[in-house]
Amino acid sequence: MTSINYSERIPNNVDLSENRRLQRALESWLPNYLSWWDELGPEGTSAYDVYLRTAIDVSSDGWAHFDYVKMPEYRWGIFLAEPVPDRRIGFGDHKGEPVWQDVPGEYRASLRRLIVTQGDTEPASVEQQRLLGLTAPSLYDLRNLFQINVEEGRHLWAMVYLLHAHFGRDGREEAEAMLERHSGDPDRPRILGAFNEPTPDWLTMFMFAFFTDRDGKYQLASLAESAFDPLARTCQFMLTEEAHHMFVGESGVMRIVKRTCEIMDEIGSEEPERVRAAGGIDLQTMQRWINFHYSVSLDLFGQELSTNAANYYTQSLKGRFHESRIDDDHRLVDSTMWIPMLDGEEIVEREQPALNAVNEKLRQDYIDDCQRGLNRWNKVLEKHGYQFRFALPHRGFHRAIGQFADVRVSPEGNVVGEAEWTRHADTWLPTESDRQFVRSLMKPCYEVGKIAGWIAPPTRGIHGNPFAFDYVRFN
Ligand SMILES: [Fe+2]
Ligand SMILES: [Fe+2]
């Protein structure tokens, strides 16, 4: 079951050839996908040979194969994690019953919506990143970008497969629409806000991969709990790919922090202006990027109190992060959770039914995970003997969704008036001149073993290769 059949046009481990109708439907979606990739995927890269990993097995030991591939020839495929024998539903009203291999009629609309919302983010990020290949700081980074891009493309395939296989005509229409909405398109934007923000520079890229791909991890992990087994298994396997995206984000930012520390050592100053003059990205600018990407990513978790989320949970469609490791009834009948809420000008903790706060629980798990990453960045500062520390802003800061959307909250968590917000906005969020400065550093550095001056090289290369390796061959 786990081995992947590569002799077929669409590699898969779902016995696609046994279902001719489905196979034909997906094969006819393939050319549309390829023309989307050509038009909105990484710009001007179709002839490049890229040292990529391709999934060859979904088991945890050694699932990937590394070799040079032209991206339009990447074997996008359909890979589900191995089935768990006699898997039982872990939460909600159906807890304890066998998982479903088909979509129950009464949950069809909800499941479709969950799958479409997840699926829409995958091609969106490829669109957002399409120009980054023109300015990568090294071949290593360029290759990592392309690896993420092809895997996000594959994640779209994963969701499109579910739509085609389980949702009939509506599913096929939704699959088409995935290629018709575009990131930042004023008429047909992507569904979620953070996926309509451009990714114009590599600081943004690394922050996006750290903060926004991490939202993906938490969404996928809660869908991996679903009673609808094909969705659960698809998401389970996507999570293994997603881990690499977050690694790229976290290590990318860490390498910038390291380089900035080296520059501050060299010039004997932490003055942002002097750091910039020496070709580095100052820590204050990085903090503003953190504030921005963290806050727009928090929005992706939705309302603090949500009947939709409660319904998904009760219906056993979408669970919590690591549901089985939580010690409770997994139905949330009487349980409560303390959540920060707005009370006039004050932010207070209120006890709420845990069932309605499922989004907030996932957001809290995400926040804790982000903090762990920041701690690792701060270790670099500590090691270099600097006092500066990165901090996550308050969860109410710069929010567009949920109860904090209508007020201004400072990074420290105080509700502030419009005047005070305006006075500080330049120090709290990236300004146009910050963005211009960061863009001015973005020059491609494509000589083997070389790297741009604003970022440190990685401690090791990919798949046992050194950093000085031709990870991308331009043809
Ligand atoms: Fe993804
Ligand atoms: Fe990702």
Q: How far is the CA of 265 from the centre of ligand 2 (A)?
A: 34
Ligand nearest to the CA of 123: 1
The pLDDT value recorded for residue 197 is 87
Q: Are 241 and 58 in contact (CB under 8 A)?
A: no
Q: At what angle do helices 139-166 and 168-180 cross, to 10 degrees?
A: 150
pLDDT at 6: 72
**239 Cα–ligand 2 center, Å:** 9
Q: How far is the CA of 311 from the centre of ligand 1 (A)?
A: 25
* Dist. CA 338 → ligand 1 center (Å): 31
**Centre of ligand 2 from the C-alpha of residue 181, in Å:** 19
Q: Find the domain containing 421 and state its range.
A: 16-473
The tally of domains found in the chain comes to 1
What CATH number has the domain bearing residue 84? 1.10.620.20
Whose CA is closest to 270, among 382, 387, 376, 379?
Answer: 387
Q: Alpha carbon 9 to chain centroid distance?
A: 28
Separation in Å, CA 400 to CA 116, 395, 405 = 22, 11, 4
- For residue 156, which ligand has an atom nearest its CA? 1
Amino acid at position 386, single letter: Y
Taking the C-alpha atoms of residue 142 and residue 443, their distance in angstroms, rounded to an integer, is 12
Q: Is residue 3 part of a domain?
A: no
In this structure, which ligand is nearest to the CA of 148?
2
For the chain of 475 residues, list the mean pLDDT of each consecutive stretch of 10: 70 91 93 96 96 81 83 92 95 98 97 97 97 98 98 96 96 96 96 92 98 97 98 95 95 98 98 98 98 97 97 98 96 95 93 97 98 98 98 98 96 97 98 98 98 97 97 94
The residue length of the chain stands at 475
pLDDT at res. 2:
54
Ligand 1: distance of its center to the CA of 158 in Å? 10
Q: What is the pTM of this model?
A: 0.96
Distance from residue 26's CA to the centre of ligand 1 (Å): 19
> Would 5 be classed as within a structural domain?
no
Q: Is residue 180 part of a domain?
A: yes
Per-residue pLDDT, 139: 98
Strands 336-343 and 415-416, how do they pair?
Answer: unpaired
User: Which residues are CB-contacts of 439 (< 8 A; sequence separation ≥ 6)?
Assistant: 200, 201
Q: Look at phi and psi of residue 48 and say left if phi exceeds 0, alpha if psi is from -120 to 50, else beta.
A: beta
